[in-house]
Amino acid sequence: MKSISNHKRILRPICLLFLVGILCLLVPMRVYATDTDNDGETDERTYEDEPGTAQTGRDNADLNVGDSFTVTVDQGNGTINGALRILIILTLIGIAPMLLIMLTSFTRIIIVLHFTRTALNTQTAPPNQVLLGLALFLTIYIMAPVFAQIYTNAIQPLDEGKITQEEALKEGITPLREFMYRQTQVKDTATLMEIAGHEWDGVTADDVPTSVLIPSFILSELRAAFIIGFLIYIPFLVIDMVVASILMSMGMMMLPPTTISMPFKILLFVLADGWNLIIVNLVKTFN
């Protein structure tokens, strides 16, 4: 019972923060009341009668009740009502982690970092939380110019009412498409274009649909990450082989080679400033 009570105490502030986050993401809307007395002309007030004219309790109850009203979003430029806007925001919150992982540099970074830890044979050092945090901040660093273009070209003009939602979506996806296309190998795109039944000259990025570009980008990222991971594995594999050969020559067959080789791996990694070499060169692969 004590454990359940502790969980409830933890979940309550989390739910409250989640609700506040949703409300903060809502775009401010200007609401205008129109034609409250049904005379065909726009009114500036929402009450039917002047204040202080109520004679009975029923009049007092009906004093500030309008028969009909309309809502104009962003001076007529908005096309989404409040309920649909909340639904879209909740949907984006749900798929945001997937978009962050699959449509950015996050996939390549986290796979390379896991290869590095496995090659060192340190099991849980660094822990998963550290690797995920490092991959996340490196992703933000790499994707910062793309995010800045999306904000400048799509989010800010849409918030000011200068472009429609369709135009904002097109302007927002363009920088992300350019980033993905630069990191995608031509053979992956050509293969998926052929499977989808689309013709492509192998050069023009505008002819590649987003539905084809995204899986092509993911496939290229997986290939690049495994190639980098293999290159990282080679020096550590050599150390394992040397240690295993020495132990066999000494007749120490029952002693696991990995137990002896791990300190030498860590020593080599530290002396070579391994984290700097891996992270810096990994970031450079996205240039």
Residues in contact with 232: Cβ distance below 8 Å, sequence separation at least 6, in sequence order: 112, 115, 116, 119, 278
pLDDT of 82 strictly over 50: yes
CA distance linking residue 48 with residue 33, whole number of Å: 12
Each residue's pLDDT tens digit, 236-253: 888 888 888 888 888 777
Q: What is the pLDDT of residue 68?
A: 45
Tell me the pLDDT tens digit for each residue of 23-55.
555 555 554 445 555 555 555 555 555 555 666
72-92 mean pLDDT = 64
Query: pLDDT grade, residue 9 (50/70/90)?
Result: low
Tell me, what's the pLDDT at 96? Answer: 80
What is residue 139's predicted lDDT score, i.e. its pLDDT?
92
pLDDT at 207 over 60: yes
Question: pLDDT grade, residue 67 (50/70/90)?
Answer: very low
> pTM for the complete prediction?
0.66
Asked if residue 239 lies in contact with residue 261, where contact means CB atoms within 8 angstroms, the answer is yes
pLDDT surpasses 80 at 12: no
Residue % of the chain over a pLDDT of 90: 21
Tell me the average pLDDT across 173-201: 88
Residue type for 169, please? L
Mean pLDDT of 254-280: 85
Tell whether the model's pLDDT for residue 106 goes beyond 50: yes
Mean pLDDT of the chain: 77
Average pLDDT score over residue span 167-171: 85
Contact 138, 283 (CB under 8 A): yes
Q: Which residue has the higher pLDDT, 256 or 153?
A: 153
- Full 3-state SS string of 149-192: HHHHHHHHHHHCCCCCHHHHHHHHHHHHHHHHHHHCCHHHHHHH
Q: What's residue 109's pLDDT?
A: 93
Q: What distances in angstroms separate CA 111 from CA 60, 117, 134, 259, 269, one per listed residue?
A: 68, 10, 12, 24, 18
- pLDDT higher than 80, residue 71: no
